[in-house]
């Protein structure tokens, strides 16, 4: 195929004829403009130009090649004709680079909140807004932390805790920690290697990673980066087109994925106002969200723009179908009541994640840890507890090994951690994630000794006092570390003149 000059590409710079360059290849996206989930405006901004830099963080590398018909793949751009544009470094970027160079060394990082503080300082404002934001008034995201502080330990003593072990199994798979890496979207907003930071660190330390449907890296890149025997799960957003979902799930199973976590708490994405105010979808852009919801306006944030494929009609009726297309254990991620926990059990899935999606969906939804108590009571009506055929996981707000141990004592099989690991790699890449694992290990060792539990199996409900958990009024100690990075919501701003 002959090469295309960048001057030729530049001639197609309008909605009538729109060519763009991504990773050195030229694409005719004219007909695709109205279908782009993020709206046409953002593409038109790069019409006739190289769009790679804007494309990369929010699309897996193969998104354009798989979605665009072959006849719109025009060929490679002639490298000799590329005019290197020296981009002006913005004041924000300059400041970011300076902060990056002045980061605390990893030795100075002693807890997971440290990663959050570094990430907040060094991330581009849009990335921080996307990662840190939660829905509406952000009551639930803060409750996720506060709930753990309403649980107190009842430690046992004189139990010979010379050796303690926190190794466990998760859905029958070995895990060096009672913690798995939960799915979080768009890893390249935080670090050029995106989710691969997690894969590599997890492979080295025997931690299980849940691969997100909306990763910045492609599914295969993430699986290819795993070491032999490394366990990975898959988080699934269910497509309106079930054939696409079926192919995706069966491909994952073929590639060795060991568990399928279907997200059930996001038929529509929550309104994350910090993200919305960033206008990531670009000035004037109009994106189609779910049918019947109408068009979303320019300022609804990056997550909503790329989530139009998610099927809001997903229902319990679909569960037998999922069981028919895969032998992977199926876990429903985002259950929040004992009623639904029992339905999940009766539909024969392998488990549930008690989650409120990191406070990003229904605001003032209760915390996963609070729901755990009622859910365990309900599940006891279905047989002996713990039940070997049904796992209950919890995520949301976990920053300390003590949080992990409280959840397990109350009946969780393991817990998911999303943001904290994302902040670790945003701040320090793979090494940051490895350090986060080390912090968990050190905290687990100390806390297990102090509680008097030598193994994960020895953790039991009598080791915690959760009597205040469901009381939503009353004293919670001020969480200074969390509050230092927590950015209060702001209201609409007047124009500066």
User: Residue 366 CB, nearest distance to ligand 173 (Å)?
Assistant: 18
Q: Quick one: which of 306, 410, 422, 436 contacts ligand 173 (CB under 6 A)?
A: 306
Nearer to ligand 173, 151 or 260 (CB): 260
Interface segment toward ligand 173; rule CB under 6 A; list 138-146, 299-307, 431-439, 479-487: 299-307
Q: Considering the complex, what minimum distance in angstroms separates the CB of residue 248 from ligand 173? A: 15
The count of residues interacting with ligand 173 (CB under 6 A) is 9
Among 54, 129, 171, 214, binds ligand 173 (CB under 6 A): 214
Judged by CB under 6 A, does residue 289 bind ligand 173?
no
| Position among 168, 182, 290, 307 found at the interface with ligand 173 (CB under 6 A) | 307
Return d(Cα 221, Cα 490) in angstroms, integer.
Answer: 38
Residue 6 C-beta: closest distance to ligand 173, Å: 32
**For ligand 173, which stretch binds (CB under 6 A), given 247-255, 302-310, 344-352, 468-476?**
302-310
Shortest CB 362 distance to ligand 173, Å: 12
Residue 361 vs 485, nearer CB to ligand 173: 361
Least distance (Å) between residue 130 CB and ligand 173: 7
Report the residue number, 135 or 424, with the smaller CB distance to ligand 173: 135
Candidate segments 25-33, 94-102, 301-309, 453-461, binder of ligand 173 by CB under 6 A: 301-309
CA nearest 281: which of 119, 132, 490, 58? 58
Please give, one letter per residue, the 3-state secondary structure of the chain: CCCECHHHHHCCECCCCEEEEECCEEEECCCCHHHCCCCHHHHHCCCCCECHHHHHHHCCCCHHHHHCCHHHEEEEECHHHCCCCCCCCCHHHHHHHHHHHCCCCHHHCCCHHHHHHHHHHHCCHHHHHHHHCCECCCHHHHHHHHHHHCCEECCCCCCCCCCCCCCEEECCEEECCCEEECCCCCHHHCCCCCCHHHHHHHHHHCCCEEECCCCCCCHHHHHHCCCCCCCEEEEECCECCHHHHHHHHHHHHHCCCCCEEEECCCCCCCCEHHHHHCCCCCCCCCEECCCCCCEECCCCHHHHHCCCCECCCCCHHHHHHHHHHCCCCEEEEEECCHHHHHHHHHCCCCEEEECCCCCCCCCCCCCHHHHHHHHHHHHHHHCCCCCCCCEEEEECCCCCHHHHHHHHHCCCCEEEECHHHHHHHHHHHHHHHHHHHHHHHHHHHHHHHHHCCCCHHHCCHHHEECCCCCCCCCCCCCCHHHHHHCCCCCCCCCCCC
Among 141, 231, 303, 439, binds ligand 173 (CB under 6 A): 303
Identity of the residue, 63 or 373, whose beta carbon is nearer to ligand 173 in the bound complex? 63
The answer to whether residue 132 forms part of the interface with ligand 173 (CB under 6 A) is no
Interactions with ligand 173, residue window 183-212 (CB under 6 A): 185
- Is 427:103 a contact under the CB 8 Å cutoff? yes
Q: Which is nearer to ligand 173, 41 or 357 (CB)?
A: 357
Q: Tell me the HSE value of 241 on the side-chain side, using a 13 A CA sphere.
A: 6
Are 128 and 272 in contact by the 8 Å Cβ rule? The answer is no
Question: Judged by CB under 6 A, which of 113, 200, 258, 357 binds ligand 173?
Answer: 357
Q: 214 vs 453, which CB is nearer to ligand 173?
A: 214
Residue 181 sits in the site that holds ligand 173 (CB under 6 A): no
| Identified binder of ligand 173 from the candidate list 51, 181, 269, 352, rule CB under 6 A | 269
Q: Which is nearer to ligand 173, 48 or 418 (CB)?
A: 418
Q: Which are the catalytic amino acids?
A: 237, 265, 357
Closest approach, Cβ 198 to ligand 173, in A, equals: 16
150 near ligand 173 (CB under 6 A): no
* Span interacting with ligand 173, options 23-31, 303-311, 336-344, 370-378, rule CB under 6 A: 303-311
Residue 46 or 130 with smaller CB distance to ligand 173? 130
Q: How far is the CB of 38 from ligand 173 (least distance, A)?
A: 11
Q: Is 360 in the site for ligand 173 (CB under 6 A)?
A: yes
CB of 132 to ligand 173, least distance (A): 11
- The rounded distance, in Å, linking the Cα atoms of 485 and 114 is 9
Contacts with ligand 173, residue ranges (CB under 6 A): 185, 214, 266, 269, 303, 306-307, 357, 360
């Amino acid at each position: 195929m002959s090469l295309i000059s960048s001057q030729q590409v530049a001639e197609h710079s309008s909605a009538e004829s729109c060519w763009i360059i991504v990773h050195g290849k030229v694409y005719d996206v004219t007909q695709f403009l109205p279908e782009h989930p993020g709206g046409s405006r953002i593409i038109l901004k790069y019409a006739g130009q190289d769009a790679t830099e804007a494309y990369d963080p929010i699309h897996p590398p193969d998104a354009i090649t798989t979605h665009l018909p072959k006849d719109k793949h025009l060929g490679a751009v002639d490298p000799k004709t590329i005019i290197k544009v020296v981009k002006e470094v913005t004041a924000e970027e300059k400041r970011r680079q300076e902060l990056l160079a002045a980061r605390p060394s990893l030795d100075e990082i002693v807890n997971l909140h440290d990663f959050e503080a570094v990430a907040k300082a060094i991330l581009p404002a849009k990335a921080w807004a996307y990662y840190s934001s939660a829905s509406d008034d952000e009551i639930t995201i803060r409750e996720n932390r506060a709930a753990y502080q309403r649980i107190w330990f009842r430690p046992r003593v004189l139990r010979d805790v010379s050796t303690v072990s926190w190794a466990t199994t998760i859905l029958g798979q070995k895990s060096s920690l009672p913690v798995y890496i939960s799915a979080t979207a768009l890893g390249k907003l935080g670090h050029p290697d995106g989710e691969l930071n997690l894969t590599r660190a997890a492979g080295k330390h025997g931690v299980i990673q849940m691969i997100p449907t909306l990763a910045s890296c492609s599914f295969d890149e993430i699986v290819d980066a795993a070491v032999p025997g490394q366990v990975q799960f898959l988080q699934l957003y269910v497509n309106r087109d079930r054939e696409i979902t079926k192919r995706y799930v069966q491909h994952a199973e073929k590639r060795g994925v060991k568990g399928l976590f279907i997200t059930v708490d996001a038929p529509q994405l929550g309104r994350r106002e910090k993200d919305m105010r960033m206008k990531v979808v670009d000035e004037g852009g109009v994106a189609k969200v779910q049918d019947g919801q109408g068009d979303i306006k320019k300022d609804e944030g990056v997550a909503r723009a790329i989530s139009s494929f998610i099927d809001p009609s997903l229902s319990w009726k679909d569960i037998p179908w999922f069981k028919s297309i895969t032998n992977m254990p199926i876990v429903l991620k985002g259950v929040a009541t004992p009623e639904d926990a029992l339905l999940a059990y009766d539909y024969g899935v392998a488990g549930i994640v008690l989650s409120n999606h990191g406070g990003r969906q229904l605001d003032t939804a209760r915390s996963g840890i609070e729901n755990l108590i009622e859910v365990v009571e309900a599940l006891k009506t279905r047989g002996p507890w713990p039940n070997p055929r049904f796992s209950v996981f919890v995520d949301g707000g976990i920053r300390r090994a003590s949080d992990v141990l409280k959840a397990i004592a109350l009946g969780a099989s393991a817990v998911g951690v999303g943001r904290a690991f994302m902040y670790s790699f945003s701040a320090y890449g793979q090494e940051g994630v490895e350090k986060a694992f080390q912090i968990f290990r050190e905290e687990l060792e100390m806390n297990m000794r102090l509680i008097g539990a030598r193994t994960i199996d020895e953790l039991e409900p009598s080791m915690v006092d959760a009597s205040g958990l469901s009381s939503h009024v009353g004293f919670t100690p001020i969480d200074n570390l969390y509050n230092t990075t927590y950015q209060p919501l702001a209201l609409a701003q007047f124009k500066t003149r």
